[in-house]
């Protein structure tokens, strides 16, 4: 915590006023609370939390970002390269093992049965997709 005396506060106010004259400062926009909800799985993006059956699942940054990317595009097959570039924010020709490791760890954490995944499906030779079938479909 920073504590300023009256003279320092005035100096800071003067600096902020000078800067505000040079650049446009608009009101901060708060993004709407975004929750991705699927049978047995809930992703609360505004809190960076993942709940499975009401229990919180601890994910790494890469696991969480990969899950959000896939869950935000249900049914769409994303290649390993697309996932790598979106989650790691870089280009790479050697992303295969990194993606496979993150997907494997993610499946262990969120899938009820990792032998027969419910949420993240592997599309052989292409990539992965988030594919949740609701009971009765």
Query: Would you say residue 12 has pLDDT above 80?
Result: no
Cα distance between residue 33 and residue 106, in whole Å: 24
Give residue-wise pLDDT tens across range 41-96.
999 998 999 999 889 999 999 999 999 999 999 999 998 888 888 888 766 555 66
Asked whether 43 and 110 are in contact (CB, 8 A), the reply is no
CA diameter of the chain: 69
State the pLDDT at residue 17.
62
> In sequence order, what E strands does 32-125 have?
35-38, 41-44, 49-52, 55-57, 78-79, 120-123
State the pLDDT at residue 132.
74
The set of long-range contacts for 108-113, using a CB threshold of 8 Å and a minimum separation of 24, is 109/57, 109/58, 109/59, 109/63, 110/41, 110/50, 110/52, 110/57, 110/67, 112/40
| Cα angle: 80, vertex 54, 122; to 5 degrees | 20
Average pLDDT value over all residues in the chain: 79
Residue range 20-49: average pLDDT? 74
Cα distance between residue 35 and residue 47, in whole Å: 9
Token pair of 98 as six digits: 């990194």
Q: Which residue has the higher pLDDT, 38 or 135?
A: 38
**Residues above pLDDT 90, as percent of the chain:** 35
Query: Would you say residue 31 has pLDDT above 70?
Result: no
Of the pLDDT bands very low, low, confident and very high (cuts 50, 70, 90), residue 7 is confident
State the pLDDT at residue 61.
92
State the pLDDT at residue 60.
93
State the pLDDT at residue 3.
64
**Which domains are present in the chain?**
59-130 (1.10.10.10)
């Amino acid at each position: 915590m920073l504590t300023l005396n009256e003279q320092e506060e005035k100096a800071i106010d003067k600096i902020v006023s000078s800067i505000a004259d040079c650049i446009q400062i608009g009101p901060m926009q708060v993004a709407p609370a975004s929750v991705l909800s699927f049978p047995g799985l809930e992703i609360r993006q505004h809190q960076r939390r993942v709940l499975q059956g009401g229990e919180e699942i601890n994910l790494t940054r890469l696991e969480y970002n990969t899950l959000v990317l896939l869950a935000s595009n249900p049914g769409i097959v994303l290649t390993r390269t697309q996932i790598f570039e979106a989650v790691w924010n870089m280009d790479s020709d050697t992303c295969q093992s990194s993606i496979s490791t993150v997907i494997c760890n993610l499946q262990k954490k969120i899938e009820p049965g990792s032998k027969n995944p419910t949420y993240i499906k592997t599309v052989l030779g292409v990539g992965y997709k988030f594919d949740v079938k609701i009971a009765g479909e």
